[in-house]
Amino acid sequence: MKSWCTTCGSLVFRSSLIKRCFQNNKVAFPSNIKPSKYRSQSPIIVDLFPADINFCVKAISEELAALNNEDIDEIIKPVTLRLIFSEIYGRNYIKLIKDTLGDSPAGKYLISMEAHSKYVDEQYRKHEINNDPKMLEEKRRIKKELKAKAHAERVAKYKRFSFIKKYWFKFKKK
């Protein structure tokens, strides 16, 4: 299993995650799901309707909240926890997840993931600003001006030096 695998998309894991969610809670898997031309045999959480998604998110969050630090450390190694969070984490369910996880080890891990995501977004934003074509053109213009100024100063220095050198040798010969 690899998060966002370009070959399989971790569909087997993601599908079994929601199927187990219903099985563990002794609830029948919904017979009515959104049609998907790609995943007819392996429905994932986005194929469910909102009420079923809400049920899954709550059930998975409760299971994660029950884990202790050792369990979390074991799950983190193969990046399973990240994949589970990326599967259930959605704009409409963030509050539900955070309320359910609370201050549990999984909740702390989610907070660290959010902090990392904000950091990466900020770095990306800075990169976009610094590599904006207008900004790059301005940087090139400033660099060119600085080089021209440095060149003019060197030329002036060499002219002064050659003037001094010219008279130095005249005085030295006498």
- Summarised one tens digit per residue, pLDDT across range 87-139 is 888 888 999 999 999 999 999 999 999 999 999 999 999 998 888 888 889 98
pLDDT band at 64 (very low <50, low <70, confident <90, very high): very high
pLDDT tens for each residue of 38-53 = 665 778 888 888 899 9
Place of tokens 């986005």: 46
DSSP 29: P
What is the predicted pLDDT for the residue at 6? Answer: 63
What is the predicted pLDDT for the residue at 38? Answer: 65
For the chain, give the mean pLDDT: 85
- Give whichever of 15-19, 28-32, 68-72, 146-150 has the largest mean pLDDT: 146-150
pLDDT band at 148 (very low <50, low <70, confident <90, very high): very high
Sequence-distant (6+) residues with CB within 8 A of 78 are 1
What is the predicted pLDDT for the residue at 57? Answer: 92
- Comparing C-alpha atoms, which of 61, 102, 56, 103 is closest to residue 81? 61
pTM tops 0.75 = no
Number of Cβ within 10 Å of residue 29's Cβ equals 13
Amino acid at site 61: S
Q: What is the DSSP string of 2-28?
A: -TT-TTTTTHHHHHHHHHHHHHHTT-P
User: Do 60 and 97 touch, CB atoms closer than 8 A?
Assistant: no
Higher pLDDT, 5 or 131: 131
86 pLDDT exceeds 60?
Answer: yes
